[in-house]
Amino acid sequence: MKKYDFPKGFLWGGATAANQIEGGYKEGNKGLNIADVLPGGKERYNILMKPGFDFEIHEDLFFYPNHEAIDFYHRYEEDIALFAEMGFKAFRLSIAWTRIFPNGDESEPNEEGLAFYDRVFDELQKYGIEPVVTISHYEMPVHLVKEYGGWRNRKVVSFFERYAKAILGRYKDKVKYWMTFNEINSGLVMPINGLGFSYQSEEDKYQPTFQAYHHQLVASAIAVKACHELIPKSKIGCMLLFAPVYAYDSNPENVMYALQEEQLFNYFCGDVQVRGEYPAFIKRYFKEHRISLEILEGDLDLLKDGTVDYIGFSYYMSRTEKKVKSDADSSEGNIIGGVRNPFLETSDWGWEIDPEGLRISLNKLYDRYQKPLFVVENGLGAYDKEEEDGSIHDDYRIDYLREHIKAMGEAIEDGVELMGYTSWGCIDMVSMSTGEFSKRYGYIYVDKHDDGSGTMKRKKKKSFYWYKDVIESNGEKL
Ligand code: BGP
């Protein structure tokens, strides 16, 4: 097999988010966040994708998988020891905003929450694992959603600033790699997670959404600036959900449509965060949809001063588009839409599997921005089966990851500057879109099930040993 030349110091590791692993949803004075009020199962997907959710907890109707998650809150030592055994160089995690500011609008941070992440970072340091911290990963305080209307409200910028500065200052000697908002562009399809509000009508897709984005982009720039000031040796990135858009065929109408979808979904936020200004293409879109942003004095300077050092992105799938679609074309399950690509197979949840698309994404992003890239999420959600002897042979996961790692190796040969790879869900956890435990990504199995039962016991899958070899050989042994 061809051997790839990954750079020295490449950050191999795994990625998680606080709300999907920690549990302890009321411990240590933690407040409620969006993920805490999302039920598991079928309801969840509808809530994320459809208008009209009310952000209340209905204890009698639903099961809330994030409340316990996989109990990382109490088991982080055991989990980090397992990551160290695999040889992780980096571990991506997020800080739960509501552990630090339970309601989001307090004036002082919550010491118990701060102390928890001190313990986690110290544990990582013990093994020489670099934390890669997402400041906000789909976990806005519910209070900010209900009382302020999420990111639509300008006041949230200051609340976020207080939160970001509190953690940047506190962990300045422990954390070098940061990212502001997880998959910031995903708010265009899942506004609840990303922007902290639920569409009540089609119209909400335009003016309110982009005003909320303006606030969030300003908040991101403030955090980037603060990070540079407080931690001079740090690197702070944006984090995009990147799914390269292919035209369905060579019909120029479809090519143009695919290009526009790519501009809006893949590049709108990144252009602001990387280049420090709104891209030219968005002006026409704003005009056509009667969007007029309220921009305060100084905002545009802030955007210029708060550009990121690297581009973190998640990659799970590509997307294929044509201008006129029928229901029969639909790529059902491909979470960000598009039409079915006849050349690709899909995961059990309908996500199209496309390793070459990762090489394409890396080339597109590097061509556009010439900044270091970091693949901070990628992986296969699959059902795992425990054999009678308790072992788990997840060869399908190994195949998926191998092909994607090869694609990164090819992109590096293409000239792309790549900092690292933290595959998603290095340990099984709650799925973001389904709220299920049975959609598993991990190298480490967790005995926890969709009905909430299970011992929480951790177990190494076959992929655990495979990934350990990959890291040990710096990507030579695939
Ligand atoms: C990304 C999110 C993660 C995550 C992953 C897999 O969009 O940043 O939070 O969970 O997707 O998605 P899922 O859990 O729905 O399979």
Q: What is the pLDDT along the chain (478 residues), one digit of tens a residue?
A: 899 999 999 999 999 999 999 999 999 999 999 999 999 987 888 888 877 777 888 888 889 999 999 999 999 999 999 999 999 999 999 999 999 999 999 999 999 999 999 999 999 999 999 999 999 999 999 999 999 999 999 999 999 999 999 999 999 999 999 999 999 999 999 999 999 998 888 889 999 999 999 999 999 999 999 999 999 999 999 999 999 999 999 999 999 999 999 999 999 999 999 999 999 999 999 999 999 999 999 999 999 999 999 999 999 999 999 999 887 777 777 778 899 999 999 999 999 999 999 999 999 999 999 999 999 999 999 999 999 999 999 999 999 999 999 999 999 999 999 999 999 999 999 999 999 999 999 999 999 999 999 999 999 999 999 999 999 999 999 9
Atom of ligand 1 nearest to the CA of 379: 6
**Contact criterion met (CB below 8 Å) for 109 and 161:** no
304 Cα–ligand 1 center, Å: 30
Question: Distance between CA 172 and CA 164 in Å, rounded?
Answer: 12
Query: Can you tell me whether residue 470 is helix, strand or coil?
Result: helix
Atom of ligand 1 nearest to the CA of 335: 15
- Report the residue among 193, 238, 315, 424 best suited for mutation to probe ligand 1: largest number of ligand atoms under 8 A from its CB: 424
128 Cα–ligand 1 center, Å: 27
Atom of ligand 1 nearest to the CA of 351: 16
> Helices 268-275 and 355-369 sit at what angle, rounded to 10 degrees?
40
Residue 366's Cα: distance from chain center in Å?
20
Would strands 458-460 and 444-446 be described as parallel, antiparallel, or unpaired?
antiparallel
Residue with tokens 């595959």: 423
**Contact criterion met (CB below 8 Å) for 331 and 337:** yes
List the domains of the chain with CATH numbers: 11-472 (3.20.20.80)
**Contact criterion met (CB below 8 Å) for 365 and 317:** no
Written as six digits, the tokens of 83 are: 């990551």
Question: Distance between CA 466 and CA 454 in Å, rounded?
Answer: 26
Atom of ligand 1 nearest to the CA of 186: 7
358 Cα–ligand 1 center, Å: 17
Atom of ligand 1 nearest to the CA of 182: 8
- Report the residue among 433, 440, 441, 446 best suited for mutation to probe ligand 1: largest number of ligand atoms under 8 A from its CB: 433
281 Cα–ligand 1 center, Å: 29
Question: Distance between CA 79 and CA 248 in Å, rounded?
Answer: 43
- Looking at the annotation, which residues are catalytic? 377
CA-closest residue to ligand 1 atom 14: 431
Burial class of residue 2, CB neighbours in 10 A (0-12, 13-18, 19+): exposed
Would strands 458-460 and 418-424 be described as parallel, antiparallel, or unpaired?
unpaired
Residues in contact with ligand 1 (CB, 6 Å cut-off): 17, 182-183, 241, 314, 377, 381, 424, 431-434, 439
Atom of ligand 1 nearest to the CA of 434: 15
- Report the residue among 432, 436, 439 best suited for mutation to probe ligand 1: largest number of ligand atoms under 8 A from its CB: 432
Atom of ligand 1 nearest to the CA of 183: 8
76 Cα–ligand 1 center, Å: 20
- Nearest Cα neighbor of 184 from 273, 53, 261, 90 is 273
88 Cα–ligand 1 center, Å: 21
Written as six digits, the tokens of 47 are: 């809530």
Written as six digits, the tokens of 312 are: 């973190």
Residue 43's Cα: distance from chain center in Å?
21
Strand ranges for 270-396 from DSSP E: 310-314, 319-321, 345-346, 352-353, 373-377
DSSP letters of 372-423?
Answer: -EEEEE----B-----TTS----HHHHHHHHHHHHHHHHHHHHT--EEEEEE
Question: Distance between CA 102 and CA 108 in Å, rounded?
Answer: 10
Question: Distance between CA 155 and CA 387 in Å, rounded?
Answer: 53
CA-closest residue to ligand 1 atom 3: 432
What's the whole-model pTM score?
0.98
Question: Distance between CA 222 and CA 230 in Å, rounded?
Answer: 12
- Report the residue among 180, 377, 380, 400 best suited for mutation to probe ligand 1: largest number of ligand atoms under 8 A from its CB: 377
**Contact criterion met (CB below 8 Å) for 48 and 193:** yes
CA-closest residue to ligand 1 atom 5: 432
Question: Distance between CA 62 and CA 53 in Å, rounded?
Answer: 14
**Contact criterion met (CB below 8 Å) for 299 and 218:** yes
Task: Provide the pLDDT for residue 328.
Answer: 73
Task: Provide the pLDDT for residue 329.
Answer: 79
Q: CB-side exposure of 297: number of CA atoms within 13 Å?
A: 0
DSSP letters of 68-130?
Answer: TTT-HHHHHHHHHHHHHHHT-SEEEEE--HHHHSSSS--SS--HHHHHHHHHHHHHHHHTTPE
CA-closest residue to ligand 1 atom 12: 432
432 Cα–ligand 1 center, Å: 5
CA-closest residue to ligand 1 atom 16: 431
283 Cα–ligand 1 center, Å: 31
